[in-house]
Amino acid sequence: MALPFEEHVETRLLHELSSPDDVSRGARRHIDLGRRIASVVTAMLDGELLPPTERQLKYGLAIARELAIELPADALQYREAMGLFISTHADRYRRRKGTASGRPG
């Protein structure tokens, strides 16, 4: 998998990963870097598996109802899928709601 790092970032990361662990300052940096990488990767992967929030569910259902469109099953199961559904349809929903309430849309 290619990671889209700028060249100077990639060079520095490779240097950090290849420097010896036995130097106390370097060991602390390796541990810190490892924890940060693990935290970012875990958050990313968990975000794909977490259920949508209550607010996302309410908003997604309101969008689907107002626009008379189907809410995909995966949007009801996964936060990331619901976020995509909302971002795809939110502008149209807001325009429609603005027009429906008598405000210019």
Summarised one tens digit per residue, pLDDT across range 43-71 is 777 766 789 999 999 999 999 999 999 99
The continuous run of DSSP H or E covering 90 comes out as helix 79-100
Secondary structure of 72-85 in HEC code, one letter for each residue: CHHHHHCHHHHHHH
What is the Cα–Cα distance from 87 to 32, expressed in whole angstroms?
A: 35
Q: Give residue for tokens 């997604």.
A: 60
pLDDT given for residue 53 in this prediction: 94
pLDDT score, position 30 = 74
**What is the distance between the alpha carbons of residues 98 and 100, in angstroms, rounded to a whole number?**
6
Residue 49: its pLDDT value, please? Answer: 79
Euclidean distance between CA atoms 56 and 83, whole angstroms: 7
Q: Is the pLDDT of residue 3 over 90?
A: no
pLDDT the model gives residue 65: 97
